[in-house]
Amino acid sequence: MRIKLLLVGKTDRGHVAEGMAAYLDRLSRTMTVEQQVLPEAGRGEPAYQQRTESDRILAALKQGERVVVLDERGRTMTSPQFAGQLGSWRDQGVRQVVFVIGGAYGLTEEVRQRADLVLALSAMTFPHQLVRVLFAEQLYRAFSIMQGGPYHH
């Protein structure tokens, strides 16, 4: 199974980039991980920015991909439950899972409806840059659980 991170806006330098790189490097030793960065909408009203970025996300998604959207209104899972979901998709022969992390203004309902799973890391709202690091760690943890590794205890 291949993993694709679909991100709105470039990853900030410093701790965010370093944290993401550390976890994604570990993960890439056992599977293909791709990052696709879509441009932020730029200036304008928040509704315009959200709509523009969401349209770009929808255009980037391909038929047959499993899509997981990160959104604070989504379903919460424990790390083992998340690993179980990924393992189930792997066992079903899913070839690629795309994880969508939107921009600062969030996602439209159309993006959430396109998702096979809307996933919340927490009921709290986090900056979209910080979510990248948190999710990269959870992704690495999930695959470590699936492989029976010692990372999750």
How far apart CA 29 and CA 44 sit, in angstroms, is 41
Match domain 2-146 to its CATH number in 3.30.70.2860, 3.60.20.10, 3.30.230.70, 3.40.1280.10: 3.40.1280.10
Structure confidence at residue 5 as a pLDDT band (50, 70, 90): very high
CB burial readout 105-122, b (16+ within 10 A) else e: bbbbeebbebbebbbbbe
Per-residue pLDDT at 21 exceeds 80: yes
Per-residue pLDDT at 152 exceeds 90: no
Where are the chain's structural domains?
A: 2-146
Structure confidence at residue 146 as a pLDDT band (50, 70, 90): very high
How far apart CA 13 and CA 61 sit, in angstroms, is 26
Per-residue pLDDT at 151 exceeds 90: no
**Going edge to edge, which strands form the sheet with 117-120?**
33-38, 2-8, 96-101, 66-76, 117-120
How far apart CA 34 and CA 75 sit, in angstroms, is 24
Longest dimension (CA), the chain: 47
* pLDDT tens-digit readout, 38-83: 999 988 899 999 999 999 999 999 999 999 999 999 999 999 999 9
pLDDT for 78 equals: 96
Going from the C-alpha of 101 to that of each of 15, 132, 151, the distances in angstroms are: 18, 7, 24
Per-residue pLDDT at 116 exceeds 80: yes
